[in-house]
Amino acid sequence: MIDHANLITAENSVLLIVDMQAKLTATMPQADADLMIANTGKLIEAANTLAIPIFVTEQYPKGLGATETAVLNKLPVHSKTYPKTGFSCCEAEGFTQALEQTERRKIILAGQEAHICVLQTALALLALDYQTYIVEDAVCSRNPQHKNNALQRMQQQGATVANYESVLFEWLKDAQHPDFKSLSALVR
């Protein structure tokens, strides 16, 4: 089979959930926040099934609180949360070292806000030579125009903008994958 270097693979991916904290989510447009949480949940379920590492960050948890309960409830027990005050996840203590230890080079980003923490994380990951994918229907900003600007800016700098269905099916790669039936049900 011929593969393009930009295709996402389950064997080489890490799912990164950026600052999906309830207090921050409450400031987002409701429909956008609901979509972000729902699609992130689907990505978490697929990542769990396919043994893809999941990293979670929390921006200033002392002020913004913990990760959304709906997200926390889907996370595997061994996933680690990195508290941070810098906007880029790469500023969180131990984050880049842990990411490097996975020996995976394709980083799938979901979270908020697209134009601040997701953007700064994506640019930092690109500078570290990671292939960086922004799941456009699993990120949001308080202002949808700021999200669109951030997606455009990240793409101009070399990140790939994807959607959660593309990520799921690229992870599966083939309808004969043993988990195809259960994971394809996530898109219905």
> CATH number of the domain at 10-187, out of 3.40.640.10, 3.40.50.850, 3.20.20.80, 3.30.70.270?
3.40.50.850
For the chain, domain boundaries: 10-187
| pLDDT tens, position by position, 140-160 | 999 999 999 999 999 999 999
Reading the block at residue 100, the tokens are 């490097």
Nearest to 14 by CA among 150, 124, 167, 148: 167
Q: Which amino acid type is present at position 83?
A: P
Q: In the predicted model, is pLDDT for residue 57 greater than 90?
A: yes
Output the pTM of the full model: 0.97
Tokens of 65: 């609180």
